[in-house]
Structure 1
Amino acid sequence: MEGVILVSVQHAEAQQVELRYVASGGHFVIRERWLNGQTAFGSLYDTDDARVHRVSVGRSPGTLIVHKAGYVQLTWAIRGYALTVEGTIEPQDALRVPESLGPSAAPGR
């Protein structure tokens, strides 16, 4: 993915951080949320408007939802944190984002 620029960092609450980026041809957000003892999280989507793929993110299972309108959402959990990459980027680019995260947040490392 070319031309990626961090445009904002937000602490939505004490247990959540959002990193907003623009990239050539789109934008995306990386969201990290502490699960605080919660054991489940999920996503809502229209089954007529999206394709759902079970993927591996490092050693963690994840879900990639690709909407017809070009919106992508990748979710996975690791060590008590839920992570999301979502935006108007290509599905293969969303799958590359976790590889760029540091060792403390990178799945399976």
Structure 2
Amino acid sequence: MLVEDNEEVAAGLSAVLEVFGWQSRHELTGDAALELLDDGATFDLILSDIQMPGVNNGIDVAEKVRRMWPKQAIALMTGYADEFERATSIGVTILSKPFNIDDLQALLHSAAPATR
């Protein structure tokens, strides 16, 4: 699942994910992503921006996912250095925007189920 409020960024990232053989579902807010997870949806990886509108930003999503679904793979993306401290305390991978395509591919490889 890709959680990104900027639709242009999401479209580009979804296209890259597809090239790498991944399907993605896009949600515009952390609130929508958490609702989807609460409804029982499962994903190989949740890749979420940190800065988003709504009640739950990406860090909030990561904290709740870690608490409720501790085995769920999740990574955060941000272009803001001041968010790194709180984000790193959760223990998730953080991609700094703009990130290198090789970093994304390494993240996907580490999150891939054994069947990929």
- More strand by percentage: 1
Fold similarity call, TM over 0.5: no
Higher helix share: 2
TM-score, reference length from structure 1: 0.29
- TM-score normalised by L of structure 2: 0.28
